[in-house]
Amino acid sequence: MSGHVVVTGAATGIGAAVTERLLADGTHVIGLGLDGQEGRAQQSRAERDGLPYAFHDVDVTDEAAVRGVFSRITRLTGVVNCAGVYPRPQRLEDVSLADFRAVMNVNLTGTFLVCRAALPLLRTSGGGSIVNLASVHARSAAPGHGPYAASKAAIVGLTRQIAVDYAQDRIRANAVLAGSVDTRITREAIAAAGSPEALGLSYARTALGRIAESHEVAAVVAFLLGPDASFITAAEMVADAGLTARIL
């Protein structure tokens, strides 16, 4: 797959896996994120291998910074919003307004700002694809994840609206509802909680009996960006090893 794609949260976790997959497929990638050290190392590896990649240290919640980086992009065929935060579990009455706003700011507002800045470029490029990383929390509840679930459900709604409003511009928009993925954020959250079960995770509840590797989610993203998904828009692509298909 060729093209020019912006990936947020590009230096770590699912974003890094998406970046690696797209570069391997011959895509020009512009990575955005706050993990500057990892991002620069990522760019150095790409340059060494002759791959078209540039990383920009950008806070996706900073409207001026987002507009600034997109103002320097001349062609765009895709956007992948991976940047996000995963707070520690708390019952809703224990969540401060500041903590709630922090989660919504990164997960939802950051996605909104990036999509808004990208849409004119996608239109002038003749169309393209937006893929937003949501979560199974958008559909199903686990104890103590109110702000996170709210942010991911809102991302699904925003994605659907973009798909409807911009279909005439040949812009598709889809959300990936991922289950648990073996990333640094997941591992740190499990360590803080003491066990997967304490975090509300039970890998045995998935039909496949395991969580995802980040490259498996990246493969779903690459499909949605590519021509084989040309008839798919406003979709909620679930990649959760069958977790939400089970009652018990």
Active site amino acids:
148
| C-alpha count within 13 angstroms, C-beta hemisphere, residue 68 | 11
Which contiguous run of DSSP H or E holds residue 119? helix 110-124
| Cβ neighbours, 10 Å, residue 34 | 17
Of the candidates 41, 38, 16, 13, which has an alpha carbon nearest to the alpha carbon of residue 29? 16
d(CA 14, CA 138): 18
DSSP label at residue 87: P
d(CA 231, CA 64): 34
Of the candidates 176, 152, 215, 181, which has an alpha carbon nearest to the alpha carbon of residue 16? 215
d(CA 65, CA 144): 32
Q: Phi/psi class of residue 17: alpha, beta or left (left: φ > 0; alpha: ψ in -120 to 50)?
A: alpha
